[in-house]
């Protein structure tokens, strides 16, 4: 009799665990990725009525707020392996319903909750730019933070684009009623001489010097194999992109183009960028790297080597690639 009760209890626990997993998946797909209930039903192999019930149960359990609070226990092993393999203090993985899907929104949802919990009074926060970082804004819980300084770590762009570094830094500062420090210069100038003049003669160096003592740095990566944000805005020509690839670049962090080992490559583009250099970023007390996707794996691995991030936020498929990398 006791053995039967034990067996039934084990079966019940197994069903509960699977139900928790399905509920968490349904919540992410519905609230973070914006999928319809019928689409979620197809992805999870369930009926639409079952999806409706899972979502209602999640709301009843208070797992759905501005952000999604229900963790996915199935990621615990991968997060631990990534921490041990790359020496990262904290790893947070975002679920994606299929490998080819764009993980930007789910990474942003998790990152927004993380950022909301980390920003505090008296902090100096340095921010990068890009689609992933911009997408975190709706998921960040804004509030008044005393004596907060937000520093843009990269120059701006001339065209009115959605992912302008200055625009993101300004909106981020506004969320917390903080002071914003922007770089009133292009992200990429025409020559090293122009860069030197802007930094030394126009006072921009003093803004970057503030980045020497960052409490928190929020950074993303840019790939180079396809047309990423920086190339769409016309910062780099196709000739520049091909030349960077020939010199071994796998992508960039704030226009610091790096090779597969995380080293800044010797290329003219790196000498024309108005941005914080990697050695400066490594001084930040907490370095958060958030990025992911099929085209970001190589530059993500290189950026981990270059920055030694204290926190990594990425998607489950990028995590699998990082763990299966034979080069490591």
Query: What CATH number should be reported for the domain holding residue 7?
Result: 1.10.10.10
Count the Cβ atoms, other than its own, within 10 Å of residue 71. 14
* 107 and 38 within one domain: no
pLDDT digits (tens, 9 = 90+) for 88-126: 999 999 988 888 888 999 999 999 999 999 999 999 999
pLDDT value at 12 more than 60:
no
Same domain, 183 and 152: yes
Residue numbers of the domain that contains 210: 73-323
Report the C-alpha gap between 121 and 183 in whole angstroms: 23
Residue 117 resides in a domain: yes
Tell whether 89 is covered by a domain: yes
Which pLDDT value is given to residue 257?
96
- Claim to verify: residue 169 and residue 225 sit in the same structural domain: yes
Same structural domain, 145 and 102: yes
Q: Are residues 234 and 143 in the same domain?
A: yes
Among the listed ranges 7-16, 76-85, 308-317, which one has the minimum average pLDDT value?
7-16
The answer to whether residues 142 and 172 belong to one domain is: yes
**Whether residue 227 sits in one domain with residue 79:** yes
Listed residues 60, 81, 96: the one ending a domain? 60
Same domain, 9 and 50: yes
Which secondary-structure segment (H or E) carries 130? none
Tell me whether residue 241 is in a domain: yes
**Cβ atoms < 10 Å from Cβ of 118:** 15
Residue 66 counted as domain residue: no
**137 lies in some domain:** yes
Look at residue 327 and tell me whether its pLDDT is greater than 90. no
Cα separations in angstroms, 88 against 79, 80, 228, 305, 313: 10, 9, 26, 10, 11
Claim to verify: residue 152 and residue 284 sit in the same structural domain: yes
One DSSP character per residue, 239-262 reads HHHHHHHHTT--EEETTEEE-TTS
Contact indicator for 169, 150 with CB cutoff of 8 Å = yes
> What CATH code is carried by the domain that includes residue 87?
3.40.50.1360
Structural domains in the chain (count)? 2
Query: What phi and psi, each to the nearest 5 degrees, are found at residue 251?
Result: 155, -165
Asked if the structure places residue 314 within a domain, the reply is yes
Name, in order, each residue with C-beta under 8 angstroms of 291's C-beta and a sequence gap of 6 or more. Answer: 107, 130, 132, 220, 221, 299, 300, 303, 314, 318
9 pLDDT tier (thresholds 50, 70, 90): very low
Structure tokens at 178: 């903080």
Residue 277 belongs to some domain of the structure:
yes
Residue at 328 is within a domain: no
Asked if 124 and 18 sit in the same domain, the reply is no
In the numeric block, the tokens 């790893």 are attached to 91
């Amino acid at each position: 009799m006791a053995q039967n009760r034990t067996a039934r209890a084990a079966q019940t626990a197994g069903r509960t665990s699977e139900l928790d997993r399905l509920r968490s998946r349904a919540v992410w797909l519905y609230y973070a990725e914006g999928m319809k209930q019928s689409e979620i039903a197809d992805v999870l192999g369930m009926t639409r009525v079952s999806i409706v019930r899972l979502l209602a149960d999640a709301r009843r359990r208070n797992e759905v707020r501005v952000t999604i609070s229900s963790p996915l226990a199935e990621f615990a092993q991968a997060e631990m392996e990534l921490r041990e393999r790359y020496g990262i203090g904290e790893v947070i993985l975002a679920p994606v319903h299929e490998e080819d899907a764009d993980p930007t929104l789910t990474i942003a949802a998790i990152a927004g909750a993380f950022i909301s919990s980390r920003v505090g009074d008296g902090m100096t926060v340095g921010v990068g730019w890009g689609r992933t970082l911009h997408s975190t804004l709706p998921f960040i819980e804004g509030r008044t933070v005393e004596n907060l300084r937000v520093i843009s770590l990269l120059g701006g762009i001339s065209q009115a684009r959605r992912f302008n570094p200055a625009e993101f830094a300004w909106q981020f500062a506004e969320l917390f009623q903080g002071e914003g420090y922007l770089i009133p210069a292009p992200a990429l100038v025409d020559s090293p001489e122009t860069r030197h003049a802007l930094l030394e003669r126009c006072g921009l160096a003093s803004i970057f010097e503030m980045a020497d003592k960052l409490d928190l740095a929020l950074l993303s990566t840019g790939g180079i194999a396809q047309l990423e944000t920086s190339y769409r805005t016309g910062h780099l020509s196709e000739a520049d992109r091909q030349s960077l690839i020939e010199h071994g670049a796998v992508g960039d962090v704030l226009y610091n183009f790096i090779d597969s080992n995380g080293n800044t490559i010797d290329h003219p583009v790196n000498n024309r960028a108005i941005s914080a250099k990697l050695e400066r970023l490594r001084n930040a007390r907490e370095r958060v790297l958030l990025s992911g996707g099929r085209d970001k794996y190589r530059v993500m691995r290189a950026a981990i080597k270059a920055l030694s991030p204290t926190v990594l936020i990425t998607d489950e498929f990028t995590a699998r690639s990082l763990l299966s990398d034979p080069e490591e």
